[in-house]
Structure 1
Amino acid sequence: MEETIAGPQAAHIPKRRGDSIAEAAVRYVEERHWDVFPGTWLEARDGTLRCSCGESACPAPGAHPAREDWATQATGSATVARGLWSEHPTASILLPVGRTFDAIDVPETAGLLALARMERMELRLGPVTHAPDGRMQFFVLPGAAAKVPDLLRGLGWSPATLDLVALGEGTYVAAPPTRYGLRGPVQWACRPTSENRWLPDAEELISTLAYACGRDR
Structure 2
Amino acid sequence: MERTIAELPRPLTRPDRTQSTDGLGLLEAALGYIEDRHWDVVLGTSVQRADGMWSCSCGDRRCVSIGAHPAMRDWQKKISGQPSRAYEWWTEQPQGSIILPTGRTFDVLECSEQAGLLALARLERSGAHPGPVAATPSRRLYFFVLPNARTKVARTLTGLGWGRTTLDLVCRSTGDYIVAPPSRMGTRGQVQWVRAPADSARWLPDPEEVLAPLAYACGLHRIR
TM-score (norm 2): 0.88
Q: Which amino acid aligns with 1:208?
A: P
| Cα deviation, residue 5, structure 1 | 4.9
3-state DSSP of counterpart to 1:204:
helix
When residues 26 and 73 of structure 1 are mapped into structure 2, their CA distance, relative to the original with a 3 A threshold, is same
1:48 aligns with 2:48: no
Letter in 2 for 1:67: M
User: What is residue 170 of structure 1 aligned with on the other side?
Assistant: 175
User: Which 5+ residue runs of structure 2 have no aligned equivalent?
Assistant: 16-21
Are 2:37 and 1:36 aligned? no
Q: How many matched pairs? A: 212
User: 2: CA distance between counterparts of 1:79 and 1:125?
Assistant: 32
Whether the 8 Å CA contact 2:131–2:203 is kept in 1: the answer is yes
| Partner Cα separation in structure 2 for residue 120 and residue 71 of structure 1 | 39
CA offset at residue 57 of structure 1? Answer: 3.3
Aligned pair in 2 of structure 1 residues 109, 156: CA closer, same or farther (>3 Å)?
same
Residue 27 (str. 1) matches residue 32 (str. 2) = yes
Task: Describe the SS at the equivalent of 2:64.
Answer: coil
- TM-score (ref. length: structure 1): 0.91
- Report the alpha carbon displacement of residue 138 of structure 1 after superposing the two structures with TM: 0.3
Cα deviation code 1:56-115 (max 9, x no counterpart): 332221111122211121111112111111111110001000111011111111001111
Q: Which amino acid aligns with 1:64?
A: H
Amino acid corresponding to residue 147 of structure 1 in structure 2: K
Structure 1: runs of 5 or more not aligned: none
The 1:96/1:152 distance shift into structure 2, 3 A limit, reads same
CA distance in structure 2 between the aligned counterparts of 1:120 and 1:88, rounded to whole angstroms? 42
Identity %: 48
Secondary structure of 1:161 counterpart: coil
Determine if contact 1:97/1:172 at 8 Å carries over to the other structure: yes
- The amino acid that maps onto 1:148 is V
Which 4+ runs in 1 deviate beyond 3 A?
4-7, 10-18
Deviation at 1:152, TM superposition (A): 0.1
Change (3 A) 1:192 1:148: same
